[in-house]
Amino acid sequence: MSMEASAVSRTILVVDDELNNREILRDLLEDEGFKVLLAEDGRDGLRKSTLGVGAILMDVIMPQMDGLTTCRQLKANEATRNIPVLFLSACPEEQIQQAAYRAGAYDFLHKPVRASELRAKLGAATQIDPAWTFEQRRARYQELVQRAETAQAVEEAAANNLLDQACLTEL
């Protein structure tokens, strides 16, 4: 990873309508060595997303433009589609989390955010090679699923073969 790409991946955009949440996340991220940009809603987040950010932490429910709409717009834009978006929400409903993933979320964290969980998920998100497109990640995922399905089929065939042999030896 080049110095420029490394600097980009260490810049995090925090999008949350609550000032207190933005400040807490900023302090936590700066303590971890990240450069932090703050946005108070989805529209502000869209504007700042083009400033070389490596990942976006975004609240789901915000006035003006919610996080789901913002994420869909980020993923529709060639310049921002590969930026990992990690959603934050105090809502415990699983439907919110599912909607976030459908909108293009990289990951999801529940508020209040645990520093260790944020550190781990953000660390993984910022290690993504920006040149690796969404389509490449999807193709790699499909390849891994196919390998897993093939391995499962081979295991099932081997197990059936062993059962057949056991039945034959009993005769």
Confidence of residue 130 (pLDDT cuts 50, 70, 90): low
Q: 39 or 154, which is more confident?
A: 39
pLDDT digits (tens, 9 = 90+) for 104-122: 999 999 999 998 899 889 8
Taking 50 as the threshold, does the pLDDT of residue 1 lie above it? no
Q: Would you call 27 helix, strand, or coil by DSSP? A: helix
Q: 168 or 17, which is more confident?
A: 17
Note the pLDDT of residue 4.
39
pLDDT digits (tens, 9 = 90+) for 42-59: 999 999 999 999 999 999
pLDDT digits (tens, 9 = 90+) for 66-114: 999 999 999 999 999 999 999 999 988 889 999 999 999 999 999 999 9
Taking 60 as the threshold, does the pLDDT of residue 152 lie above it? yes
Q: What is the average per-residue pLDDT within 9-32?
A: 93
